[in-house]
């Protein structure tokens, strides 16, 4: 509850004979906010203006209070005891004549400084009191009870450059331009289809003809090209084996030429 | 101070600011501080007895009517509210920079080059079957629009880019989109393209193609559509 | 709107409703709606450019002064509050305030009147050596903040009040602290205080004094500190 409630003791240590289990009676000092507060309280009891207070009398009262507290074995915080020591010193200075040629502050200066400290604490207390007497928010004055919040609309600002766009497009097309060959090759032109087509085509062509030409004329979808080529080549080989047509190729990977075999059984394949 | 009832029957000229009845001060403080609208009974209980709450509320309402804050009745309760015409004031637009996902960017690019294009066609080109989400993103971003329906089984919606798209990418027309040669020239293609590979030249012509039907009523309400405000 | 409304918005300046500038409507809407004080910069950003915000605020303040709700300045921010004399009316809105101990209150007053001030200086004034606990309480309540380090042995932290303090006690600036003149006049801040401690007036001027260093990184992490939302 107070700052001063510290269980320290110093030079004014309690009677060592005191039983350790004897409770410390600290109730009386708990009401004070430190030695200055105690001094202020005592000063007020003198019922005089702080400016006219007798520091000597005040010191006596303070020391008497401390003596009483010690007699009652009250446990006093160090702050009180330090002040007691200082007041005892001040009192002795005030009672003795100032030694001639003394250096440092006179006893009167010290007493004045103490009086000033008391006045200052008193003043700050008055200020604190006046501060708390002001209208306080939530106690005396109130903010809007039902504020209407600002609606924050987060408007996304999309950042994409033309370069991003074109790069994305090119990457995408390039990737799938290759992938598509694989993908669509699954959509095969079956051997049966190839053979039926070839048979129809060969009705029309009696001379050597590049197989591609037939097929390109027939298959417009360029992605089907490899499937068409593969199937038709297989069909061609099959038909050649059956003796229905002849195949001719000048070199590896060169165009494959076929023609209807005029005389069944005499055909051969060059490859 | 004259009673409120009397005062209200007075001609306006006689009412001066100094004569403003104390109960109006009390009322405005009560209503201001309250965390919720208050009904007349509650107000009456807090005001000095004998106050004509109804009359005071009416007068306060009249006072505040031309102001930025109005006294309004909500059900049988009263509260201060920002004037209706100032709703915009309480709206704050925060610009939030965002990057398009790669998928969205790719889809956008395909819509740009291949428009009008259906979702199935986009998926075919991209080789993935998840175009719906990215189309929705692009519709929300406001760079594409549904423009018609393909005359084909299922009558799928065709998509195209819009003005906002051109504007964002600094294009005057879609013809400004670089063609294959330019893309190659820019090093965007690495040259190993299959024969017959082509990049379409999209057109800005808003007229529907032969294989397109117009959008039907309701097509724009099915969540596919952009907010009407985003497109300008 | 009826002429009654005009009549009622009369102020001592003989302003009729029609002549009331629109920016006053906007200002009152903004300030009414906000749950917290707004600074002039924020207000200016929401108002039409070129608005003399300061002048409009002053005029609004005058308009509302006789009302149950007043426009008040807190630091460099503005907010509507119920009038000071109406606490009796609003008891049901009152929240149980955090009860500060006498020690904490005294410490708060010392920080307020003597700022910037170190813990040792507080202890010197109060004559007790246990200011840490009460400083922690005040930091937690959120009315004071560490603001720098005194250029002195041990480089102790200096404390000051913050905007929440001004707001809570309804002070426009620290110069409105009650009894400040008397305290200064009594010369109580002179003489026995350490050099650099006696100050002409408490100041929350964010600029550090000659005898202060800035807080260092980490100073704000030691549990003493409020969130680093220092004043702006």
pLDDT at A269 over 70: no
Interface test with A, best of C36, C105, C126 (most A CBs within 10 A): C126
Q: What is the pLDDT of residue C28?
A: 94
pLDDT by residue (tens digit) across A104-141? 778 888 888 888 888 888 888 889 999 989 988 988 88
Q: Are B95 and A157 in contact (CB under 8 A)?
A: yes
Least CB–CB distance from A134: residue in C101, C178, C188: C178
Please give the share of chain B, as a percent, with pLDDT higher than 70: 84
As a whole number, the mean pLDDT across chain B is 82
Q: Distance (Å) from the C-alpha of residue C89 to the closest C-alpha of chain B?
A: 7
Interface test with B, best of C2, C6, C7 (most B CBs within 10 A): C7
**Lowest pLDDT segment from A8-17, A31-40, A54-63, A244-253:** A8-17
Chains that touch B (3 or more CB pairs under 8 A): A, C
**Chain length of chain B:** 232
Q: What is the pLDDT of residue B71?
A: 95
Average pLDDT over residues C200-223: 67
Please give the share of chain A, as a percent, with pLDDT higher than 70: 69
Q: What is the pLDDT of residue C161?
A: 93
Decide: residue A68, CB within 10 A, 0-12 exposed, 13-18 middle, 19+ buried: exposed
As a whole number, the mean pLDDT across chain C is 79
Q: What is the pLDDT of residue B170?
A: 86
Q: What is the pLDDT of residue C187?
A: 63
Longest dimension (CA), chain C: 72
**Lowest pLDDT segment from A260-269, B20-29, B79-88, C25-34:** A260-269
Confidence of residue A190 (pLDDT cuts 50, 70, 90): confident
Residues C44-67 as b/e (b if ≥16 CB within 10 A, e otherwise) read bebbeeebebeebbebbeebbeeb
Q: What is the pLDDT of residue C31?
A: 94
**Lowest pLDDT segment from A86-90, A142-146, A243-247, B2-6:** B2-6
A144/C106 CB distance under 8 A: no
pLDDT at B142 over 60: yes
Output A152 or B126, whichever has higher pLDDT: B126
Average pLDDT over residues B74-97: 86
Q: What is the pLDDT of residue A188?
A: 61
Q: From CA C53, how far away is CA C59, in angstroms rounded?
A: 10
Q: From CA C68, how far away is CA C80, in angstroms rounded?
A: 10
Please give the share of chain B, as a percent, with pLDDT higher than 90: 34
Tell whether C24 lies on the interface with B, counting CB pairs under 8 A.
yes
Residues of B in contact with C64 (CB under 8 A): none
C209, C184, C228: which is closest to C116 by C-alpha?
Answer: C209
Q: What is the pLDDT of residue A83?
A: 87
Nearest chain B residue to C83, by CA: B29
Interface test with B, best of A154, A164, A173 (most B CBs within 10 A): A173
Average pLDDT over residues C157-174: 92
Q: What is the pLDDT of residue B132?
A: 79
Chains that touch A (3 or more CB pairs under 8 A): B, C
Confidence of residue B26 (pLDDT cuts 50, 70, 90): very high
pLDDT at C182 over 80: no
Tell whether B195 lies on the interface with C, counting CB pairs under 8 A.
no
Residues of C in contact with B45 (CB under 8 A): none
A157/B98 CB distance under 8 A: yes
Q: What is the pLDDT of residue A146?
A: 86
Average pLDDT over residues A55-79: 84
Q: Distance (Å) from the C-alpha of residue B227 to the closest C-alpha of chain A?
A: 13
Confidence of residue B59 (pLDDT cuts 50, 70, 90): very high
C61, C37, C27: which is closest to C232 by C-alpha?
Answer: C37
Interface test with A, best of C127, C129, C166, C178 (most A CBs within 10 A): C127
Q: Distance (Å) from the C-alpha of residue A209 to the closest C-alpha of chain B?
A: 23
Output A169 or C131, whichever has higher pLDDT: A169
pLDDT at A81 over 90: no
C28/B63 CB distance under 8 A: no
Q: What is the pLDDT of residue A219?
A: 56
Q: From CA C135, how far away is CA C146, in angstroms rounded?
A: 10
Confidence of residue A37 (pLDDT cuts 50, 70, 90): confident
C28/B69 CB distance under 8 A: yes
Q: What is the pLDDT of residue B1?
A: 43
Average pLDDT over residues C38-42: 93
pLDDT by residue (tens digit) across B40-51? 999 999 999 889
Least CB–CB distance from C68: residue in B29, B68, B82: B29
pLDDT at B60 over 90: yes
Pairing of strands A256-260, B69-74: unpaired
**Which residues are CB-contacts of C187 (< 8 A; sequence separation ≥ 6)?**
none
Angle, CA A248 vertex, CA A242 and CA A253 arms, to 5°: 115
pLDDT at B111 over 80: yes
- Is the ipTM above a cut-off of 0.90? no
Q: From CA C3, how far away is CA C18, in angstroms rounded?
A: 10
From start to end of chain A, where are the E strands? 151-159, 209-210, 245-249, 256-260
Residues of B in contact with C89 (CB under 8 A): 26, 29-30, 46
Residues of C in contact with A2 (CB under 8 A): 101, 103
**Lowest pLDDT segment from A202-211, B144-153, C145-154, C198-207:** C198-207
Q: Distance between alpha carbon C119 and the CA centroid of its chain, in Å?
A: 21
Q: Distance (Å) from the C-alpha of residue C35 to the closest C-alpha of chain B?
A: 11
Q: Distance (Å) from the C-alpha of residue B109 to the closest C-alpha of chain A?
A: 5
Least CB–CB distance from A176: residue in B125, B169, B199: B125
Average pLDDT over residues C118-146: 88
Q: What is the pLDDT of residue C41?
A: 93
pLDDT by residue (tens digit) across C50-72? 999 999 999 999 999 999 999 99
Nearest chain B residue to A167, by CA: B188
C183/A78 CB distance under 8 A: no
Per-window interface: B 142-181 vs C, CB < 8 A: none
């Amino acid at each position: 509850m107070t700052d001063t409630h510290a269980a320290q003791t110093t030079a004014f240590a309690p009677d060592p004979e005191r039983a350790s289990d004897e409770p410390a009676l600290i109730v009386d000092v708990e009401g004070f906010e430190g030695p200055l507060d105690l001094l202020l309280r005592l000063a007020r009891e003198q019922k005089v203006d702080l400016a006219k207070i007798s520091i000597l009398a005040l010191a006596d009262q303070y020391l008497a209070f401390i003596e009483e507290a010690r007699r009652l074995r009250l446990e006093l915080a160090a702050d009180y005891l330090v002040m007691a020591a200082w007041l005892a010193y001040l009192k002795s200075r005030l009672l003795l004549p100032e030694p001639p040629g003394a250096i440092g502050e006179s006893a009167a200066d010290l007493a004045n400084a103490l009086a000033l400290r008391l006045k200052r604490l008193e003043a700050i207390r008055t200020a604190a009191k006046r501060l708390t007497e002001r209208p306080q928010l939530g106690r005396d004055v109130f903010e809007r009870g039902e504020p209407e919040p600002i609606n924050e609309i987060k408007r996304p600002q999309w950042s994409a450059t033309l370069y991003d766009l074109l790069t994305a497009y090119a990457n995408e097309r390039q990737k799938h331009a290759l992938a598509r060959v694989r993908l669509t090759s699954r959509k095969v032109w079956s051997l049966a289809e190839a053979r039926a087509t070839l048979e129809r085509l060969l009705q029309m062509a009696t001379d050597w003809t590049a197989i591609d030409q037939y097929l390109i004329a027939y298959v417009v979808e360029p992605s089907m090209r490899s499937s068409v080529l593969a199937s038709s080549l297989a069909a061609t080989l099959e038909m050649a084996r059956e003796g229905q047509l002849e195949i001719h190729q000048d070199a590896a990977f060169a165009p494959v030429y076929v023609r209807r075999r005029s005389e069944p059984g005499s055909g051969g394949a060059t490859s | 101070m004259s009673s409120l009832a009397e005062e209200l029957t007075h001609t306006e000229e006689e009412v001066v600011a100094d004569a403003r009845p104390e109960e109006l001060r009390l009322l405005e403080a009560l209503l201001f501080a309250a965390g919720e609208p208050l009904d007349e009974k509650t107000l009456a209980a807090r005001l000095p007895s004998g106050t004509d709450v109804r009359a005071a509320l009416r007068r306060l309402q009249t006072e505040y009517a031309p102001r930025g804050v109005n006294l309004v009745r909500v059900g049988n309760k009263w509260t201060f509210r920002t004037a209706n015409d100032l709703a915009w004031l309480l709206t704050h637009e925060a610009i939030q920079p965002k990057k398009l996902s790669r998928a969205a960017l790719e889809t956008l690019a395909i819509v740009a080059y291949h428009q009008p294009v259906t979702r199935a066609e986009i998926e075919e080109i991209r080789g993935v079957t998840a175009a719906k989400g990215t189309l929705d993103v692009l519709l929300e971003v406001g760079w594409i629009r549904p423009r018609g329906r393909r005359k084909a089984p299922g009558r799928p919606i065709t998509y195209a880019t819009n003005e906002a798209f051109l504007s964002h990418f600094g294009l005057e027309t879609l013809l400004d989109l670089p063609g294959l040669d330019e893309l190659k020239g820019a090093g965007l293609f690495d040259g190993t393209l299959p024969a017959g590979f082509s990049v379409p030249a999209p057109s800005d012509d808003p007229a529907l193609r032969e294989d397109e039907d117009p959008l039907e009523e309701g097509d724009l309400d099915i969540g596919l559509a952009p907010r009407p405000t985003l497109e300008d």
